[in-house]
Amino acid sequence: MIFYLGTHEQHWLARVARPLFVSRRRLERRRRLPVAAAPWALDSGGFTELAMHGRWTVDAATYAADVRRYRDGVGRMAWAAPQDWMCEPAMLARTGLTVAEHQRRTVDNYLQLRTVADDLPFVPVLQGWTRDDYWRHVDQYQAAGVDVEAAPLVGLGSVCRRQATDEIAQLVGELSATIRLHGFGVKRSGLAAYGWMLASADSLAWSYDGRRIRPCPHTGAASCNNCMTHALAWAAGVTVGDRPVQLAFAGWNVGR
């Protein structure tokens, strides 16, 4: 299982020889891009986009152009998330749409991205709220001609805030029997419970923990929420079951 350390410090890409998970929102204003020291994955920034605007303000062609710039400029991109639509109740309240509509738009966007940029390593993402929602989304992809069981990697969305529950552990167990899953925002408790069933996962939980460490003993900053030393130490303590998680790259990606 590959663990991507989440960070909102994009310059870490050039400094950390570990797989990182970085948001498009942190790279979009950079004229000069860092050159990656290790393979990394791109988060679309969808949660923030929908929370702020109730919709995507970036079209598929523009997003694909951005992703191509990061792939070519930063280098070593393992995969990129599409412009998916999360299905938490608060997000549905923000958009005014249903789970089914969020799922439809997620599939449509993945198809659009494959059409305008079939050379880029976009992964399909499953969205939903209940167990049956996720299985219906699998069926929607299959009906659209996307075989998620054959995909090198498939994201599992809308689980971050309940990722350590028995419900999510059961869902991961069922889906991972035939699908290579990436768990978005899976914290230590979730990794310990079912991380061995995931192909990969990411977490930014170290930053939230770091907010309580005041001041930062490594940099002298107000807290450790942006501290690389704290982040790497936190990641070193992540385990899958009773085994340390693999922080080094395992030598595969989802790109063509």
Check residue 242 and give its pLDDT: 63
According to DSSP, the residues that pair with 122 across neighbouring strands are 80
At residue 245, the pLDDT reads: 59
Q: What is the pLDDT of residue 10?
A: 95
pLDDT digits (tens, 9 = 90+) for 98-129: 999 999 999 999 999 999 999 999 999 999 99
DSSP readout, the chain? -EEEEEES-GGGGGT--S-EEEEHHHHTT-SSPPPPSS-EEEE--HHHHHHHHSS--S-HHHHHHHHHHHHHHH--EEEE--------HHHHHHHT--HHHHHHHHHHHHHHHHHH-TTS-B--EE--SSHHHHHHHHHHHHHTT--TTTSS-EEE-S-GGGTTSHHHHHHHHHHTTTS-EEETT--HHHHHHHGGG-SEEEE-HHHHHHTTS-S-TTT-SS-STT-HHHHHHHHHT-EETTEE-B-S--S--S--
pLDDT in tens, 184-201: 999 888 988 899 999 999
**pLDDT at res. 231:** 95
| pLDDT given at position 240 | 80
Q: 218: which 2 tokens?
A: 């490594």
Please give the Cα distance from 154 to 134 (Å, whole number).
12
Angle, vertex CA 139, rays to CA 179 and CA 113, nearest 5: 80
State both tokens at 112. 């659009």
Domain ranges of the chain: 2-244
With contact defined as beta carbons under 8 Å apart, do 153 and 200 qualify?
Answer: yes
- Rounded to an integer, what distance in angstroms lies between the CA atom of residue 146 and that of residue 139? 9
Segments in the chain below pLDDT 50: 247-256
Residue 142's CB: how many other CB atoms inside 10 A? 12
- Residues 6 or more apart in contact with residue 66 via CB below 8 angstroms: 24, 27, 28, 58
Q: Which fold has domain 2-244?
A: TIM Barrel (3.20.20)
- For residue 246, the model assigns a pLDDT of 53
CA 129 to chain CA mean position, Å = 17
pTM of the model: 0.93
Rg, C-alpha atoms of the chain:
17
Q: Would you state the pLDDT for residue 247?
A: 45
